[in-house]
Structure formats: structure tokens, C-alpha cells
Amino acid sequence: MVTMQDVAERAGVTKQTVSNVLSGRVAVRPATAARVRAAIEELGYTPNLVARSLATGSTRTVGLFVPTVGGSFYAELIEEVEDVLEEHGYHLLLCTTRLDGERARRHLASLTSRSVDALLIAGDRDLIDHLPLLAGAAFPVVLCAWETEVPDRFPVVTIDYERAGYLAGRHLRELGHRRVAVLASPAHTVRIEGFRRAFAADGISVPDDAVHLAPEPTLAGGVAAATAALAADPAVTAVFATHDILALGALEAARTAGRRVPADLSVIGHDDNPEVRLARPALTSIALPRREMARQAVELLLRAVTKTGSAANSLQLLRPELVVRDSTAPAPGA
Amino acid sequence: MVTMQDVAERAGVTKQTVSNVLSGRVAVRPATAARVRAAIEELGYTPNLVARSLATGSTRTVGLFVPTVGGSFYAELIEEVEDVLEEHGYHLLLCTTRLDGERARRHLASLTSRSVDALLIAGDRDLIDHLPLLAGAAFPVVLCAWETEVPDRFPVVTIDYERAGYLAGRHLRELGHRRVAVLASPAHTVRIEGFRRAFAADGISVPDDAVHLAPEPTLAGGVAAATAALAADPAVTAVFATHDILALGALEAARTAGRRVPADLSVIGHDDNPEVRLARPALTSIALPRREMARQAVELLLRAVTKTGSAANSLQLLRPELVVRDSTAPAPGA
DNA sequence: GGCCTATGGTTTACCGGTCCAATAAGAGGG
DNA sequence: CCCTCTTATTGGACCGGTAAACCATAGGCC
């Protein structure tokens, strides 16, 4: 292993001069710099980043927690995070929590030991209980894609999920739907609130028994919830699914129930996931600015790394957008 | 920042003794150990992993290169890699190359600087040109999910893609198909070879003009290639797509061409991607043991890390499997 | 009682960089 | 020609651990 000392000896200078040439922070006479560079070249020297990290206290690495890498939501998030980090010369240390709080805790503990300069936590599912562990963290932490109650103390960059639900509701209301059902994952209460607000403007309420929970966000779960919804109230003319995959289940349930989408039944999803683009009719959905969110979160994080101490507790909400396709239409009677 | 020295002073010992307590490699009197542990607890000490890495020469981090994180193939691979690493107490540093050779090279260069203990490279698309850079790497490198010609010098854990093509061909042949077409991504020549071998056993050849290339693995690309294939030879009774998404395109093209799947036309895909599970008819495909592959690759890698110097150039091929669903059926005339 | 050996702890020397104060060499001014 | 002021280079301390050699104490044995 060739070290800076080796380069220095070969170039006839001290280690410090080699360091100066590399960092460029201190002036070095051109002739000397050339000698040093030649020595580096000849010996094939590459600086030891670990040693540098120890001396500077910065690893130029950022940790990212995600619940999973499957599914386009987190996949896009990861890619965007990596892009931004790369632009700034940082590395990405990835930890998936996999619905396993204990695993999350272990990962958290080991990252705390100064192996990362900052931490981005996406998705609240598994880590929420262990956030207090981070209270004394020596590095900045930012949360993103956070839907449930936000623990103060950390800045958050997330999506206005309430508005996402509202957009879905407003769309259906404007199409004349009055009797609607909701298929929801248990954690999506905020989206439902927004959905209700849209109807409340017209004095219409969405009763609790119109909300059908799907324990898992799967096609089968969507089918089951939708079937239950249609059975519970055959008069519904529209369904809002808080997750695209549940919406697909609704499409299938409608088909087997003999109801045509969108003529008899409108279906609107949430997330605008690319992997459901293949479904027919094409799904109307709520698109989320995932990449934008990821970018802003990372940039906030990196700003906090450089200006240590700043980055007060803040909340940044990004706006979702309605994407109208073929699965929604005016209510039959309207 | 509380250091080992602080703990040592508080416990009335030297920092080496603290180190011994933590590592457990050297015997420490129980009473002393208890004092040290108490001091650790009181001060909230956590060891500095960077300093440890510098001293030991090991970062307990493994780098993983993938072309992208989108798509279930690499997503599952990443998850499995992380699982295995976690079992062994290693961290995951993720780099995506994104069809960008230059980006790949940059990442490679920075990881070479001893910030990882080992490197796993999955997918040959972008890094193949830069592998020579790794020739002098001080850490083990393993390639996986490698389809094209394997550069010697590195161990490879991959899938027997030739056999995958063969299984697809054999299935169609056994169903009585004689006149077949192939929809392929440009890089999938090995799969096509295997496909041909299956037919060659019966003296049937698959001519070059029955192979239709799709430049990008997209639905549209599949539709275009399939449409071209059906136009070029209306007599084909079966289509092999080297990628599931292309197979979906074939389903769509068949529909618009008025051909029923599987009655008039059999379609077989490759990869058995979960994201196409929604398609109807359900796609017959070739399943790849992705998780198994990832696991074996990482374990090989970690073995090479511990027993330095070993891990000679080896090639490990994992067996794909045929998964028969509803998109293939006996040839019309058979 | 003297010698040998465990056992538990300390000392000293790294690992490979960066940071800062000190110094040597030139340039410019009086 | 001497003194000052830059500018380029050097030396040593330091980041926070680990590794190995070394020392002290106590117990076992003849």
C-alpha cells in the first residue's frame, strides 16, 4: 500500500507538501507540484479516505433509511438521493428496515458511531419508535416521505398528503359523485381526512363505514376491500384507493361484480405508480413529486452538514397533482 | 465527543483496557470490566468506527454497483445483499451506474481508496469497460448477474442464461411449435443461443430474421418488435421474449393483430418479474434464482475478505426454472 | 524460600492523513 | 547591504482507535 509518505520521499518533499498539492488549499511552487504529481502517478498513489475522515471528522457519506427498495416509490427516491449526493461528492450508505423495528434500531446504532455525516430517513413505518435514539446524534437528520405525526426536533420534507386526498375527493365531487367509498391502508388516515374535506365543502360526509381497510397493500387486499365496499353499499359510484395497487384490486373487483369502469364506477388511485401503467382502463391517480422531495431533502441535509448547527426544525410540504386518465368519469346520474 | 480516553480516565484505567473490554479479545478482571462498562454507560460513549477502521484496515463496508434500483430484479438483489451483509455485520454502500459509464468510473475510483472492504458488481452494462481499473484493487471483487463474456481475473456468480433460453425453447418445442420468433434486447444473445439449441435438437433452426430487436426494454418496444415479428412471418405460432416487459408488448400486439393468446399464439417471457403478474393471460416465464444468486455472491465475497488472497477466479452458474402459466399452449396444428 | 508461570494491566508504537505554528528562502524597499 | 514581508516548505502534534511488547503481582511447585 503506497502512502503519502512514500510519495513525499520520492518527490523529495514532506508529506505535508504532498497534502497541499492534493488539496490545493495552500500555494505550492509549480515545479514542486509537478514533481509531486509525477511521483503520485509513478507510484499509483490514491489517498486513504479513512485516514482523511479520521483527521477531518467527515466521512463524506450520508446514510439513507428506507422501508424497502422494491416498488417505484422508494426506488426513485433512492436514485434521486444518490444523484444529489453524487453531485456533491458524497457516498450513499443504504439501510432498509423491512418492517423490522429491531433491525432498524441496530442499523441506527451502528451509524451513529460517526460513520456517516448525516442521515436521511424516508418512510415512517419502522423507525418512528427509535427516533429518540437520534436525539443526541452528532450529525444532522432529516425526515422525508413522512405521513404520520411529525416528531419535532427534526426537519421534515414530505408531501402534503392531506391535499393529495383532497384532490382525489375534489375530482370525484366535481364529477358529480356523492356516494363514495374509500379503500385504505391503515396508516393513510391523513389522505382520508383530505378526501373528506373535499366533500365536506358540499355538506357531504363520508361515513366511517364507507372506509374499508386493507391490511396489506396488495392486489388481493384491494380486491377484498373493494368487494366488501361494493357489497356494503351497492349504491356507491366512485372509489378512492389510498394506494394504486388497491385501486387495481378495485378494478378487478368491479369487473367480477359486473360493473364497468368508469361508466358504472369511477376508481381513483394514489401515488401514480409507474408499475400500474399497464392496467386498463388507465388509472386516474394522484402524482407525488417524489424526486423533487428527495432532492430537497438531501440538499437540506447537506446544507446542515456544512453550516453545522443550523437547520432548525422545519416542515416542507410538497404539492401532489391530480392525473386524470380513463378510470374516472361523471357519476351515472349526474 | 466522548472518546475512549475519557472512559478510561473515568474508570481509572488506560484506554487499552477499555478497548479490551469492548473487544473481549483479552481477559479483563470482572470488577474492572464492570467499572469500565459503568463509565461507558455514564458518559454515553460510542466507539468511533472511523478510527477503528484506520487502525484495523477494515471498514466493514461492502460496495455494490447496480445499473439501477428500479425494477424488481435489482431491487430484490439489493435487499438480499443487504440481508446477508447485515448477518455478517457489514454495511452497504450503494452505487448506481445508470447507463453512464463515466459516472461508474468516478464511483469506482473513489471506492478504490479503501473506503470499502470488498466490491460486488451486478449487471454488466456500464462497468465492463472500466474493470481494468480494478485490476490493482486491494480488495476482493465479485461479479454477479453477468451475462456477457466474463473477464477472467474476477470470480463470477451468475445465472445460466444459456439454459434459461434453452428452457424457453424446449417448452415451446414440446408444445409442438416449429415456427417461432424471438423478441430480444440487444445484449441478450446468450439467451437466444440457448433458445436455438433447444430447437436444434429437432433439426429446427431459428433463422436470424426471426429475431427482432427491441432497443429498449419497454412495453412500447415490445409492441413494436412483436408487431414487426408477426408482420414478417404471419405463420409463427409462438414468441419468446428475452424480457418479460417485451412479452407484455407481445400480448398487446397480438391483441391488436386479432390473435388470441394462447390459442393462436403462445408467448413466453424471461425473468418472471413480479410486476407483470397483473397481466392477463398470466405470463409463462423463466424464473431466475435472484436471491440465491445475491446470497452466494455476497458470501463468496465475504469469505474472500476474511481469507485474504484466496477466492480464485471461479464461475458459479445458477439454474433458472420454467414457470408455466396461461400464455403458452400447444401449437394450433399440433 | 526461590523460581516459573499465569493473569491483568500499562506502555509505546503505529494506521495515514490534516492542521497549525515555525522556519527557510526570495523579493522589495530604504 | 540590511531589514522586512511574502511565499513555499517543514516539523510536530493530533484524530481515536488497535496491536504487540512489556511489566507487576500473585499463585503453584519443588
Minimum CA–CA partner of B112 in chain A: A46
Contacts of B92 in chain A (CB under 8 A): 93-95
**Predicted pLDDT at B246:** 96
Q: Does A138 touch chain B (CB under 8 A)?
A: yes
CA distance A288 to A298: 17
Q: Which nucleotides of C are covered by protein (CB under 7 A)?
A: 7-12, 14-20
Name the residue closest to the C1' of C18 by its CA. A55
Listed in sequence order, the residues at least 6 apart from B83 whose beta carbon sits closer than 8 Å to its beta carbon are B295
The whole-number pLDDT of residue A126 equals 75
Among residues B52, B117, B137, the alpha carbon closest in space to that of B303 is found at B117
Bridge partners of residue B232, in order along the sequence: none
- CATH superfamily for A4-47 is lambda repressor-like DNA-binding domains (1.10.260.40)
Torsion angle defined by CA atoms of residues A181, A182, A183 and A187, in that order, rounded to the nearest 10 degrees: -160
Strand D-contacting residues in A 51-70, CB cut-off 7 angstroms: 51, 54-55, 57
A26 touches strand D (CB under 7 A): yes
Q: Cβ of B55 < 7 Å from strand D?
A: yes
* Under 8 Å between Cβ of A206 and A199: yes
The gap between B55 CA and C25 C1' (Å) is 38
Q: Is the pLDDT of residue A183 over 90?
A: yes
pTM: predicted TM-score of the whole model, two decimal places: 0.93
Give the pLDDT of residue A161.
96
Q: What are phi and psi of B54, to 5 degrees?
A: -65, -40
Q: Which nucleotide is nearest to B53 (CA to C1')?
A: D17
Torsion angle (degrees, nearest 10) of CA A52, A57, A58, A59 = 60
Q: Do A69 and B78 touch (CB under 8 A)?
A: yes
Nearest residue of chain B to residue A46 (CA atoms): B113
> Coil, helix or strand for A27?
coil
Residue with cell 469500565: B36
Q: Is B56 on the interface with A (CB under 8 A)?
A: no
Among B residues 200-219, those touching chain A with beta carbons less than 8 Å apart: 219
For position B259, what pLDDT does the model report? Answer: 96
Given a cut of 90, is residue A49 above it in pLDDT? yes
* Residue A333, burial from CB neighbour count under 10 angstroms (0-12, 13-18, 19+): exposed
**Domain boundaries along the sequence of chain A:** 4-47, 61-159+289-319, 161-287
pLDDT of residue B229: 97
The yes-or-no verdict on residue A41 having pLDDT over 80 is: yes
Q: Which of B51, B69, B138 sits opposite A78 (nearest CB)?
A: B69
Which positions ≥6 away from B9 have C-beta within 8 Å? none
C-alpha cell at A111: 451509524
Give the pLDDT score at B308: 62
Neighbours of A141 (CB within 10 A): 20
* pLDDT confidence of residue A75: 96
pLDDT-based confidence at residue A193 (cuts at 50, 70, 90): very high
Q: Do domains A61-159+289-319 and A161-287 have the same CATH topology?
A: yes
Tell me: pLDDT of A272 over 70.
yes
| B113 part of contact set with chain A, CB < 8 Å | yes
- Domain B61-159+289-319: give its CATH architecture: 3-Layer(aba) Sandwich (3.40)
Does A282 contact chain B (CB < 8 Å)?
Answer: no
Residue A174's SS3 state is helix
CA A29 to C1' C25, whole Å: 12
CATH code for the structural domain at B161-287: 3.40.50.2300
Which positions in chain A touch B114 (Cβ < 8 Å)? 46, 48-50
Cα separation of A78 and A94, whole Å?
9
Residues B18 and B81: their CA atoms lie apart, in Å, by 33
Query: How far apart, in Å, are the Cα atoms of B284 and each of B74, B160, B248?
Result: 21, 19, 11
Identify the pLDDT of residue A170.
Answer: 98
Measured from the CB, is B48 under 7 Å from any atom of strand D?
A: yes
> How far is residue B132 CA from its own chain's centroid?
21
Model pLDDT, residue A135: 76
Do residue B93 and residue A93 have CB atoms under 8 angstroms apart? yes
Over chain B (334 residues), the average pLDDT of each successive run of 10 is 93 95 91 95 94 95 94 95 96 93 87 88 82 82 88 89 98 97 94 97 94 94 96 96 96 95 97 87 97 97 80 85 97 83
In a 10 Å sphere around its CB, with 0-12 CB exposed, 13-18 middle and 19+ buried, how is residue B117 labelled?
buried
Q: Which of A124-133, A223-232, B42-51 has the lowest mean pLDDT?
A: A124-133
Distance in Å, residue B253 CA to nucleotide D8 C1': 73
Q: Which residues contact A75 (CB under 8 A, 6 or more apart)?
A: A69, B68, B69, B70, B71, B75
Query: In this complex, which of B50, B70, B113 lies closest to A72 when CB atoms are compared?
Result: B70
Whether the CB of B97 is below 8 Å from some CB of chain A: the reply is no
